[in-house]
């Protein structure tokens, strides 16, 4: 009933460069990527971003700056003499973006609307910069279900709060729906890079996306709570039985928009707590900082391996 299902037709040019599924863009004389503080008229986007291969996204500006320095060391990238890492999007005051050779490290904020706006502009950036076969990876945090805190989860499926594998959104007053599909092969390739020597587990499974951290994730500790602890436990156990192993706030739109653009994507998150045991994130800040590096380590292994075999 009035539902628009987008066709999954070919979305890339034969050379692998990103094709926009929007005829309006090439008719505009310039495209302002407002929330990135970049534009196709004001910047030479091919010159600035033409060599990008990996787009790594995570919630906070600080974590993505740390990732930029870390990946620089890992891939042995040298900054030109006399220069330092610069937040390319600093004048937007919205997102932070760092470029380290073929790697872009971008913050996406919290939740679907924030990462959605960023994805529109980054996908257009890839198009303007004529980047071929980019890979998008979210390196994030999440709540685990039945996993030890500090476990790394590679998502192989993304579902919404109604457990449907779609990203749904009203457009022009009608509900639209796009499949939230992740690249299962890429998820397995990432899993294969987990090491027996890692002092934590790395697993794959289904991830649930919500639009809220508190009531939307069945917490008892928000400003409001109109259900019982038993209701919460029953619900989380139901999720667990359905194979959902973690909850975060971006996976459906991330999977859906990348899939719609024909871009390979992966989501690697570390669990900050086991939701079967509590609601509050109460590990010391140093411990959380240590855990946050784990998805970055896995993604760095992937990027290094790719660059070595290129």
**Which residues here bind ligand URA, judged by CB under 6 A?**
141-143, 213, 217, 247-249, 272
As a whole number of angstroms, the distance between CA 130 and CA 115 comes to 22
217 binds, among ligand R2B, ligand URA, none (CB under 5 to 8 A by kind): ligand URA
246, 144 contact by CB (below 8 A): yes
Near ligand R2B in 106-125, by CB under 6 A: 110-111
CB of 283 to ligand R2B, least distance (A): 13
Residue 149 is a binding residue for ligand R2B (CB under 6 A): no
Neighbouring residues of 24: CB distance < 8 A, sequence distance ≥ 6: none
CB of 141 to ligand URA, least distance (A): 5
As a whole number of angstroms, the distance between CA 244 and CA 163 comes to 9
59 binds, among ligand R2B, ligand URA, none (CB under 5 to 8 A by kind): ligand R2B
Near ligand R2B in 196-235, by CB under 6 A: 213
* Residue 91, Cβ density class (10 Å: 0-12 exposed, 13-18 middle, ≥19 buried): exposed
By beta carbon distance, the residue nearest ligand URA is 143
Six token digits for residue 213 = 């951290």
Q: Which is nearer to ligand R2B, 163 or 281 (CB)?
A: 281
Near ligand R2B in 234-253, by CB under 6 A: 248-250
- Dihedral, CA atoms, 277, 297, 285, 247, nearest 10 degrees? -30
Residue 31 is a binding residue for ligand R2B (CB under 6 A): no
Q: Which is nearer to ligand R2B, 86 or 281 (CB)?
A: 281
Q: Considering only CA atoms, which of 134, 164, 145, 157 is closest in space to residue 261?
A: 134
């Amino acid at each position: 009933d009035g539902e628009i299902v987008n066709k999954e037709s070919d979305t890339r040019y034969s050379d692998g460069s990103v094709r926009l599924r929007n005829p309006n863009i090439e008719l505009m004389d310039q495209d302002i990527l407002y929330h990135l503080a970049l534009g196709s008229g004001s910047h030479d986007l091919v010159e600035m971003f033409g060599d990008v291969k990996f787009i790594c996204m995570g919630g906070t500006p600080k974590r993505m700056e740390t990732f930029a320095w870390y990946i620089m060391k890992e891939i042995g990238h040298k900054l030109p003499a006399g220069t330092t890492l610069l937040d390319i999007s600093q004048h937007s005051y919205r997102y932070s973006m760092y470029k380290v050779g073929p790697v872009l490290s971008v913050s996406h904020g919290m939740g679907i609307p924030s990462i959605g706006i960023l994805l529109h502009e980054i996908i257009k950036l890839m198009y303007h910069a004529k980047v071929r076969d980019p890979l998008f990876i979210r390196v994030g945090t999440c709540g685990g279900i039945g996993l030890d805190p500090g476990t790394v989860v590679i998502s192989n499926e993304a579902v919404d709060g109604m457990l449907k594998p779609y990203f749904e959104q009203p457009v022009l007053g009608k509900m639209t729906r796009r499949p939230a599909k992740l690249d299962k092969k890429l998820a397995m390739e990432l899993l294969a890079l987990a090491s027996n020597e890692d002092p934590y587990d790395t697993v794959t499974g289904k991830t649930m996306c919500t639009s809220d951290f508190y009531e939307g994730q069945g917490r008892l500790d928000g400003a409001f709570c109109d259900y019982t602890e038993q209701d919460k436990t029953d619900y989380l156990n139901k999720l667990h039985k359905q194979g959902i192993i973690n909850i975060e706030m971006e996976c459906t739109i991330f999977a859906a928009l990348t899939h719609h653009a024909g871009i390979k994507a992966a989501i690697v998150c570390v669990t900050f707590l086991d939701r079967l045991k509590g609601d509050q994130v109460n590990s010391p800040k140093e411990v959380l900082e240590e855990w946050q590096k784990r998805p970055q380590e896995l993604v760095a292994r992937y990027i290094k391996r790719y660059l070595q075999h290129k």
